[in-house]
A and B are shown apart, each in its own frame.
Chain A
């Protein structure tokens, strides 16, 4: 720890260090408070959901009740299918498009690229009214592909991969071509393997985005068979049957648990991925 601390003359020390650490921790606790609160409520009987007694009995009842009260197993499956479908299609389409933008010269390329970038501003989240119409015309309302389709051609993914492909030396693909590889083989053998860290970064960002996405799935789905977890949770917690807060908290933790666990386990990769994906 001392190597850089001695180098940085502005690193806080003494009382300044104590104050800064304390302030940072205070904010961190404040930031975690809603989550701590939910964990407390979910693991205690309902009568303790607003009473904080250290020795209150622990229970898993709330989770059992939540699990039995709504088809959460199906919702988990739906979300899993949705996220897999979106990510696999995104990887294929974005890779092809990014390759074209990075390594091919053709008329209209700049215009096409500008049209792609437009989606960074006008996201599918905003075009809900028209996209709903399109899905209804296609006759695929209330299905998992209907949730996925608007997000499959991701401007963000195309942009990210294009930037990455552009930084790879051209000599590599010339060498592969001399050996007789066609453009697609060059892409698969040279570009894709070298961009692996970027693929992982994009994958993490995409999965967490679509695991958490809510508005569009809420609009296009209305059956248990198509609903992802987020919509299922909302349907469950807003029903009028007067469900206990502790059960809602348990359901809430249940739906967030996979991502949260993944984040805690692979913290470094998560943070680095989001940075890599954000900085161009």
Chain B
């Protein structure tokens, strides 16, 4: 094929996908930035340019700050715990334990269930008095506690749900990577007299680094994206204790219909995600060798 012809073919093949990406990803990202500097159009007032007013409003918005802090705690809770659990699950399932296929299925099951459906189940799990958690705790003589209704415990409760949903999903990537590691490495380090812990720390874990990076990036994105269970279980309450950033955007945009301010909040979320992408590119890609 001639060069010019090849270019025409290439772009024609790309065209449908690129057009839709431009319409639903690139343009909205740019439009978010533009709209964040315009006021929300109301019935009698047209949208006017207000510069950085929406961002000033954000600085004074206690719910925004609360949501941001909550989201950081949510991320700090879900990311390390779900990754550590995923690794532990993978190591167990990789060993020849009894009934490993059934165990693996049990770990993975939350991944295929809709978050919205399981959140309903967890809601009941946490219910005061009747919920399973309360019943079990009362056997041990613990005092009644409204887990989702108390600001101090609500965020931890929704974090647990997120960990439960994610860990089995991350497990399968570790499992696949563990099975790639050559058995001769284990034999060699056993000959050297290395303990199992040393073998894990010095051999397995470093070899799993690309997988850890992949899982980490996914976990970070999910920490800023998962709000289905918030909508079902707490609606951001009590007293905004479980409001996350995307949830605040959702409420601002579709409950109060303040699209200008919602756009400004989205910009913050986009900046956070862009930072993750940049960090991955600059810091991690260089330190990890891909196969």
Contacts and interface: CB of A to CB of B under 8 A. Distances in A.
A138 to B, nearest CB: 9
Nearest to A130: B28
Contact of A263 (B102, B109, B186, B214): B109
Interface stretch (A54-62, A68-76, A254-262): A254-262
A138 B21 CA distance: 16
Interface string B61-79: 0000000000000000000
Interface string B165-206: 000110011011100000100110010000010010000000
A5 interface: yes
A112 B14 contact: yes
Contacts of A234: 116, 231-232
A119 interface: yes
B96 interface: yes
Query: In the complex, which range does the number of interface residues on chain A fall in?
Result: 35 or more
Contact of A24 (B92, B105, B130): B92
B117 A271 contact: no
A229 B117 CA distance: 10
The winner among A23, A27, A155, A280 for most chain B CB atoms within 10 A is: A27
Contacts of A271: 104, 108, 172
A122 interface: yes
Contact of B121 (A35, A214, A263): A35
Interface string B125-143: 1000011100100000000
Given A4-B96, A7-B183, A121-B276, A128 B103 contact: no
Contact of B95 (A11, A32, A41): A11
A104 B6 contact: yes
B234 interface: no
A278 B249 contact: no
A149 B106 contact: no
Given A1-B96, A50-B135, A153 B259 contact: no
Interface string A206-226: 001001101100110000000
Contact of A37 (B24, B101, B132, B254): B132
Interface string B202-230: 00000000010010000001001101100
Contacts of A132: 253-254
A28 B103 contact: yes
Contacts of B157: none
Contacts of B120: 233, 237, 248-249, 252
A168 B93 CA distance: 33
A94 B175 CA distance: 28
B98 interface: yes
Interface string A24-36: 1101110111110
B122 interface: yes
Interface stretch (B49-57, B145-153, B266-274): B266-274
B96 A28 contact: no
Contacts of B227: 215
A134 B28 contact: yes
B173 A20 contact: no
Nearest to B199: A10
A31 B98 contact: no
Complex A-B, nearest 5 residue pairs according to Cβ-Cβ distance, in ascending order: A130-B28, A104-B10, A9-B190, A106-B7, A100-B13
Given A234-B232, A249-B121, 18 more contacts: A4-B96, A8-B183, A10-B190, A10-B199, A11-B96, A31-B164, A34-B121, A35-B121, A104-B13, A105-B10, A109-B10, A121-B277, A130-B35, A215-B250, A230-B117, A252-B121, A259-B114, A271-B172
28 contacts: A28-B102, A29-B106, A31-B168, A34-B125, A34-B164, A35-B121, A37-B121, A92-B16, A96-B13, A100-B14, A104-B9, A121-B273, A121-B277, A126-B269, A129-B253, A130-B28, A130-B263, A130-B266, A152-B20, A214-B115, A233-B120, A248-B120, A260-B109, A271-B104, A275-B176, A278-B173, A279-B177, A280-B214
